[in-house]
Structure 1
Amino acid sequence: MVSQTAVKPGTPRLRADATRNRERIVAAAQEAFVEFGADVPLDEIARRAGIGNATLYRHFPDRRELARSVVLSVFGTMAKEAETIAAEAPDAFAALEAIVHGAVEWKVGALCPMFSEWMDVDDPELLAARNRLDNVVERLFDEAQADGTLRTDVAPGDVMILASQIARPLPGTTPLLHVQFVHRYIQLVLDGLRAPQRSVLPGQPATLQDLRGQCAVPTGPQQ
């Protein structure tokens, strides 16, 4: 799923083989973090990436830096794919459906809670990636509500919260079993967002601003 990696500004350009190694490490780390949690041994990540431990530590001297790259890569990929979906979908609601299903595939619901206590909410690279994604989602919400396909008493944050909650595996279930059902339940939620609305929702809609800081760059723990 991860198709790009984040490199700090000012970092020397990597050779092609080093770039491939870095991308393999970040992709393997994303899978391992989702499967085993934030404390997965870095040796396991190196094994999954098909590289030696020394190569992993050369690219990522500690867990903090590796986790940061995973989060930035995921949000960067999500933003890029959301822009493509928005440009190609037949209407705004269909684009929102595809983006929400994509967020499940990107494992955002697992990664965000994992790193929520370690975040640097002012990280400029993460803010840029999140703003890019937020702009797409908010525009699609406005368009879908304006054309009458999306109920008017919801906001983008409502959908992100629902998708994140549904995407988290239940305790005691296997990843394979979870994947078999998660998109089914996501679609049930999306169908409930269609206008005309059939009920009155309690409380206030959750905006994306309400969710700021809920998934940002980890600042600890160290390896």
Structure 2
Amino acid sequence: MNAPGQRPLRADALRNAERLVIAARQAFADDGPEVSLEEIARRAGVGVATLYRRFPSKDDLVAAVLLWRYDERVAPVLEAALVDPDPWRGVVSSLEAAMSLACEEQCTFLAAKSMSNLADGIQDRYFADFTKIVARAQAAGLLRKDLTPEDLPPVAYMLVGVLHVVRAPEWDWRRYLTLLLDGLRPAGATELPALRRPGQT
């Protein structure tokens, strides 16, 4: 729970930070994104002053929740995908992990007042690894060659966008992941329009 550049927390402070992050994640899920910081502190069993010392804003707390969940749910999947003997399986598992996190943490994302810089570090980590995973699948002839690293964030955001459109329980995001994966296969792929580079007209 130590942010980069911060001194390590004392044991009691670390425990408080962990309790706050766990309580915040549960509070967002139970009471929605508008739950107050006072309620989160109460759930964690600490004073509001303790919360603000560690997390000066709600966005700081949201970022800590997302980082915790990413390290727990997504990072290990990407690590395995980078060495998976089946590169296509690595692509699929990487997208499934990202979608699972986005689905499970919808209320956490909505709790942020500003998303502009909130998840940049997590996104950078994800796409740095996912780019390598995609390249492995392309080298093995399992993924279309014309997909570029610049394409990957829009492709992932297209998939995450499903969560904002389809909310009925009978519709599963895996249905749309399957459609997208078929579009990444080399067989029958329609040639993509050229990607415009900076300075090109």
Note closer, same or farther for the CA distance 1:116–1:90 as it changes in structure 2 (3 Å cut). Answer: farther
Gaps of 5+ in 1: 207-223
3-state SS, counterpart of residue 172 of structure 2: helix
Note closer, same or farther for the CA distance 1:182–1:130 as it changes in structure 2 (3 Å cut). Answer: closer
Asked if structure 1 preserves the Cα contact closer than 8 Å seen for 2:143 and 2:185, the reply is yes
Once the two structures are TM-superposed, the CA of residue 14 in structure 1 deviates from its matched residue by 2.6
Note closer, same or farther for the CA distance 1:191–1:25 as it changes in structure 2 (3 Å cut). Answer: farther
* Residue of structure 2 in register with 1:138 after alignment: 131
Note closer, same or farther for the CA distance 1:195–1:114 as it changes in structure 2 (3 Å cut). Answer: farther
Once the two structures are TM-superposed, the CA of residue 143 in structure 1 deviates from its matched residue by 1.6
Matched, 1:119 2:112: no
TM-score normalised over the length of structure 1: 0.64
Say which structure, 1 or 2, has more relative contact order (CA 8 Å, 6+ apart).
1
Asked if structure 2 preserves the Cα contact closer than 8 Å seen for 1:149 and 1:195, the reply is yes
Asked if structure 1 preserves the Cα contact closer than 8 Å seen for 2:162 and 2:173, the reply is yes
> Identity rate of aligned residues, in percent?
26
Note closer, same or farther for the CA distance 1:26–1:205 as it changes in structure 2 (3 Å cut). Answer: farther
3-state SS, counterpart of residue 143 of structure 1: helix
Matched, 1:162 2:177: no
3-state SS, counterpart of residue 92 of structure 2: helix
State the distance in 1 between where 2:113 and 2:142 align: 33
TM-score normalised over the length of structure 2: 0.70
3-state SS, counterpart of residue 151 of structure 1: coil
Give the letter for the 1:105 counterpart.
S
State the distance in 2 between where 1:113 and 1:205 align: 32
The higher radius of gyration belongs to 2
Matched, 1:95 2:86: no
State the distance in 2 between where 1:34 and 1:75 align: 17
1:1-223 matched pairs, under 5 angstroms: 5-15=1-11, 17-33=12-28, 36-37=32-33, 39-46=34-41, 49-54=43-48, 55-77=50-72, 80-107=75-102, 110=106, 115=112, 117-120=114-117, 127=121, 129-154=122-147, 155-168=151-164, 170=166, 173=168, 177=169, 181-201=172-192, 203=193
Gaps of 5+ in 2: 197-201
Note closer, same or farther for the CA distance 1:14–1:167 as it changes in structure 2 (3 Å cut). Answer: farther
State the distance in 2 between where 1:193 and 1:82 align: 20
Give the letter for the 2:58 counterpart.
R
Tell me the C-alpha RMSD between the 2 structures.
3.6
Q: What is the total number of aligned residue pairs between the two structures? A: 189
